[in-house]
Amino acid sequence: MRRELLDLVGSGLLVAGLTLALVGALVPAAATEGATPSSTADGRTLFFAKGCSGCHSISALGIRAPVSGPPDLSKLPDEAATRRPGLTSTDYVRESILAPASFVAPGASDATNVMPVLAVNASELDALVAFLLAPR
């Protein structure tokens, strides 16, 4: 009887220990994910949160901007690598966001139609680039 009770307590402690280990493993992962968004889903959220969607449509994804001057980014995954000789698609999109004035994309309707420099940190930039270059 006493032995069984000890076994019961022992297995209860084991379950508690395993639960704590599991929570310990999951919680830091979730915290890291929140601090460094890098998935295309985060990029989509940022596309709206940073105001990109106020200018750019991505009609292939059903995203429609209220204005028509700035280029639609639907074909960006195919075209980005061809924009600037020597720049990979990733580098081209990073440059487009960090320093929009360094190159004017062919889809821009006229010279007054310029892209502003927006505040984007390194991890936000990675997430936006992943989203913009993901196959449609």
Q: Applying CB under 6 A, which residues contact ligand HEC?
A: 50-52, 54-56, 70-71, 73, 76, 83, 93, 96-97, 100, 103-105, 107-108, 113-116, 118, 120, 128, 132
CB of 101 to ligand HEC, least distance (A): 7
Choice between 8 and 98, CB closer to ligand HEC: 98
CB of 126 to ligand HEC, least distance (A): 12
Closest CA to 67 of 47, 46, 51: 51
Q: Which residues contact 37 (CB under 8 A, 6 or more apart)?
A: 43, 45, 46, 123, 124, 126, 127
Choice between 24 and 60, CB closer to ligand HEC: 60
Helix intervals (H) in the chain: 2-35, 40-49, 76-83, 89-98, 122-133
Choice between 7 and 78, CB closer to ligand HEC: 78
CB of 107 to ligand HEC, least distance (A): 5
CB of 109 to ligand HEC, least distance (A): 8
- In order of 21, 57, 71, 75, 113, the CA distances from 107 in angstroms are 53, 12, 5, 11, 10
Choice between 23 and 50, CB closer to ligand HEC: 50
